[in-house]
């Protein structure tokens, strides 16, 4: 890795939820309705249904700038925001934007009448991934460069609450970190922390 400062782009944020794969079927018409009603900030284009894939991407709401999904990769159900296009600003701006988008989607899904309260953000586990192996290869040098950015972001996101950070160590996987808090923090509180 070069000595250039780390630039974070294509940020993914996954909010782990309490729920089952059974919520995926009613999610398809919900996402179709979201394309029409545009409740999210990005331009939404289509829905891809991968429910047949075991431990896969679930149901994906495809957008121009980003995708949203109820993702079940590795058997861990969660609301996943996948930023696809580059974003101006600082690394902190990009991390906050992705977290805000994921938390906003999670709040909307929790309140969605068609899901009948079947999905709930557990509030203790969040995963950050950088979906760009060129900018952020999964090597110790990237972790060292990213760690100060992560600490600054978490101080804002968690509002000073204690958390642990576990980096993905397998170099074959994307660079990422899983954040866990001892006590649940609801999406609304996390959004308020990001806005303060």
CA atoms of 157 and 42, how far apart (whole Å) = 22
Contacts of 67 (CB under 8 A, 6+ apart): 60, 61, 80, 81, 82, 84
User: Mind listing the pLDDT tens digit for each residue in 57-95?
Assistant: 999 999 999 999 999 988 889 999 999 999 999 999 999
- Per-residue pLDDT tens digits for 23-60: 788 899 999 999 999 999 899 999 999 988 988 899 99
Q: Which of 94, 97, 151, 161 is nearest to 124 (CA)?
A: 161
Q: Which residues pair with 126 in a beta bridge?
A: 15, 179
pTM of the model as a whole: 0.93
Region of residue 145 (phi > 0: left; psi between -120 and 50: alpha; otherwise: beta): alpha
Ranges of each domain in the chain: 11-195
Return the residue matching tokens 């630039």. Answer: 7
In percent, the amount of the chain with pLDDT more than 90 equals 80
In this prediction, residue 19 has a pLDDT band, given cuts at 50, 70 and 90, of: low
Q: In the structure encoding, which two tokens stand for residue 70, read together?
A: 């109820």
The average confidence (pLDDT) of the chain is 92
């Amino acid at each position: 890795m070069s000595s250039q400062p780390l630039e974070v782009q294509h940020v993914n944020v996954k909010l782990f939820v309490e729920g089952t794969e059974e919520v995926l079927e009613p999610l398809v018409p919900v996402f179709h309705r979201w394309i029409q009603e545009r409740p999210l900030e990005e331009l939404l284009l289509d829905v891809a249904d991968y429910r047949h894939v075991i431990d896969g991407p679930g149901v994906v709401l495809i957008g121009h700038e980003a995708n949203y999904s109820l993702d079940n990769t590795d058997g861990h159900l969660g609301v996943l925001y996948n930023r696809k296009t580059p974003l101006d600003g600082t690394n902190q701006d990009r991390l906050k934007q992705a977290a805000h988008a994921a938390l906003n989607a999670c709040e909307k899904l929790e309140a969605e009448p068609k899901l009948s309260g079947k999905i709930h953000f557990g509030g203790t586990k969040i995963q950050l991934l950088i979906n760009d192996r060129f900018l952020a290869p999964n090597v110790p040098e990237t972790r060292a460069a990213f760690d100060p950015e992560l600490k600054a972001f978490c101080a804002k996101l968690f509002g000073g609450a204690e958390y642990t950070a576990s980096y993905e160590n397998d170099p074959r996987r994307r660079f990422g970190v899983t954040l866990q808090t001892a006590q649940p923090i609801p999406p609304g509180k996390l959004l308020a922390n990001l806005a303060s």
